[in-house]
Structure 1
Amino acid sequence: METQTAKILDGKALSAKIQQSLSAQIQELQPKFGRPPGLAVLMVGDNPASAAYVRGKERACEKVGIASFGKHFPTQTSLAELEDTIAALNNDPQVDGILVQLPLPEHLDSVKLLNQIAPEKDVDGLHPVNMGRLVRSEEGLRSCTPAGVMRLLEEYQIPVQGKQAVVLGRSILVGKPLALMLLEANATVTVAHSRSHEIKSITQSADILIAAVGRNGLVTGEMLKPGAIVVDVGINRVVDASGKDRLIGDVHFESASKVAEYITPVPGGIGPMTVAMLLQNTVKSYLTRF
């Protein structure tokens, strides 16, 4: 029986290393600046997965010395009330970053709300101004998950330039910004999605394959080029036979890890990197204020 040959891209370890470095930076700067960096996370409703993510972000902030200005709103909160809250946070000198936890309840227009965030405080990198800067390869706050993917590849010294990169998924959160970041790093990029034909032949051409679709086990070992770099951005909750729920990715880890050279685990791969990039964006925004 073939055993796993792929080396693990350990996002958890790299995230801890980045957080340690941010913590040291904040300890040094806080006495000079007279306050810590501040992050406001807005959550609407009681989606249990969102609540868990928000708690994780707040704990990470506490660990590195970022002040949390979390606000939790009931499900029926109006768009106007949330817009007022964002306007106040835009003007709050204690707050460097503002993040709206998605998904929002159905009656709220998330695009309209995200567009209210001042671009320099948009630590999720989703404002059209920051997206536009990414398109033009200009300095700006970058989307956390794709930035985390790029940072992880860099840490393991995986060359991107000239490589065939395939991104599965075209969401505004991951697929599109990640394709732009890979282009910026001089990869040849293909974006495949639910309407693409011959997915298997597309994935088999990839030196670097990034799965960001949200369908568990979509990518199997036979869909990969031997020696490919496989990055799994998918986070899917499944309930096993005993009734316990667990997280699995878009990649069928067992079969893929026999073919790939490097692979990210789920959990412990890109999830922790997203949080690390959020903290890094908050500190970056903090530094521009002084």
Structure 2
Amino acid sequence: MSGHQLSGRAVLSQVREELARYHPVIAPQNLRVAVLRFEPGPEDPQAWRLRMEASRISAEQKVRAFTHLGFAVDHVVLPPTVSPAEFAARLDAANADPAVSAVIIQFPPPARLAALVHRLNPAKDIDGLLDERSLQRACATADGITRIVAPFAEGATVAVIGARGFVGSGVVRLLADRQIATLPLDQGDDLRRAARADIVVSTAGIPHLLTPNHIRPHHRVVVDSGFSPRPDGTVAGDISPQAATLPQHITPVPGGVGPVEMAVLMERIVRQVADPALKSWTIPPVPYLGRAAAAQMRSTGIRRAPGRVPGPAAAPRPGTEAPRHDKKRSGPTR
């Protein structure tokens, strides 16, 4: 049995198509979104330069997503020499500008600037960066991951790798909101415990961290939120290639969680400026096998996924019936 890839790009494509109807509402308002990211310096360690490359890719995805909706996007690239005063002034100006509907700060910022992120106006923090001050329950990445998990989660335990991190803690919180059991795991824990869970989510950002010691054929879905650019130009996820074929379903890297994150951000900003009643898009129930059936298929050598995954159910247009909300709902890693 080989893992069926869940395409985040397909989700984003359908959400973009559904939300395009708001372009004539948004564009005439001359609204803007500010996307701020940081450039690495020539003397920065390679690990930091690669993280900033991931930030660049994500920022460019956001520019395309918001432009599609009719926003003008200020993509601000801050040099490695930017001072705390300069960064604070940028945030203060965006907070004070009524034409700026949202501000995205690409993470991680340099450590010397991290505390200044909290100057951001919570009303413009559509990515949920402000912890308890945010109007969002969690960041868009965590929201997207939770929507991917939801169709598989009935009666399941979800192992969350990186559960104490920014994204991972948001996933644990959102799953708890849905009364889905979690197994939080992080640095210092025995990650092999993930093999006992029904679903695995990895937000660690460590290339090829999880191997066949952690990923098993009974896993209904594995969500790989890792996105680590490498010096050779390729991108690695948290799941090793040897383990990627084992679960019943898996998100690819790139093309998995990253596009879904964009779909969540698009939904959030449309709800904020154009349609407060906009309902969240979902993914319909997805077929998967129980542990015994998955083990039997593996033992007999059958190599096929348990079924095709339907596309997301977009939020209904005004005057139409809302999609059914139950435990089997779901929602670029990149």
Q: Do 2:9 and 2:255's aligned partners in 1 also have CA atoms closer than 8 Å?
A: yes
Find out whether 1:232 has 2:224 as its counterpart.
yes
Relative to 1, partners in 2 of residues 1:163 and 1:73: Cα closer, same or farther, differing over 3 Å? same
Q: TM-score, normalised by structure 2?
A: 0.72
* 1:32-111 correspondence to structure 2 within 5 Å: 34-46=28-40, 47-108=52-113, 110=114
Q: CA deviation at 1:65?
A: 2.1
> What SS does the corresponding residue of 1:63 show, helix, strand or coil?
helix
For 1:279 and 1:80, how far apart are their aligned partners in 2?
31
Matches within 5 A, 1:51-200: 51-108=56-113, 110=114, 112-130=115-133, 140=136, 142-154=138-150, 157-158=151-152, 160-196=153-189, 198-200=190-192
Q: Cα RMSD between the aligned structures?
A: 2.4
Shift of 1:82: 1.6
Partner of 2:282: none
Residue equivalent to 2:260: 273
| Aligned sequence identity (%) | 26
Are residues 221 and 14 of structure 1, via their aligned partners in 2, closer, same or farther at CA, if it must alter by over 3 Å?
same
Distance 1:161 1:278, change over 3 A: same
Q: Is the 8 A contact 1:45 1:76 kept in 2?
A: no
Residue number among 10, 22, 25 corresponding to 2:22 in the alignment: 25
Task: State the distance in 2 between where 1:189 and 1:49 align.
Answer: 28
CA distance in 2, matches of 1:37, 1:147: 25
CA distance in 1, matches of 2:252, 2:131: 31
Asked if the contact 2:138/2:174 (under 8 Å) is kept, the reply is no
- Equivalent positions of 1:206-225 (< 5 A) are 206-225=197-216
Matches of 2:230 and 2:30 in 1, distance apart? 39
- The change in CA–CA distance for 1:30 and 1:100 in structure 2 (over 3 A counts) is closer
Contact in 2 for aligned 1:115/1:128 (Cα 8 Å): no
User: Counterparts of 1:279 and 1:51 in 2: how far apart (Å)?
Assistant: 18
CA deviation after TM superposition for structure 1 residue 164, in Å: 0.5
Q: Which moved more, 1:84-93 or 1:98-107?
A: 98-107
For 1:48-84, what per-residue CA distance to the aligned partner results, in whole angstroms no more than 9, with x for missing partners? 4433332232122223322212222222222122222
Q: Give the Å deviation of 1:219.
A: 1.2
Q: TM-score, normalised by structure 1?
A: 0.82
Q: State the 4+ residue runs in structure 1 displaced beyond 3 angstroms.
A: 46-49
* Aligned residue number for residue 137 of structure 1: none
How far 1:141 moved relative to its partner?
Answer: 5.6
Contact 2:26 2:69 (8 Å CA) reproduced? no
Q: Assess if the C-alpha contact under 8 Å between 2:225 and 2:238 holds in 1.
A: yes
- Cα shift at 1:5: 2.0
- 2:112 is paired with a residue whose SS is coil
Q: Name structure 1 gaps, 5 residues minimum.
A: 134-139
More displaced, 59-68 or 206-215? 59-68
DSSP 3-state at the match of 2:196:
coil
Q: Are the equivalent residues in 1 in contact too, given 2:3–2:250 (CA < 8 A)?
A: yes
* TM-aligned CA deviation for residue 204 of structure 1: 1.3
Check whether the contact 1:20–1:64 (CA below 8 A) recurs between aligned residues: no
The farther-off stretch of 115-124 and 73-82 is 73-82
Q: Against the structure 1 CA distance between its residues 141 and 282, is the aligned structure 2 distance closer, same or farther, given a 3 Å change threshold?
A: farther
How many angstroms apart in 2 are the aligned matches of 1:50 and 1:128? 20
By how many angstroms is 1:220 displaced? 1.7
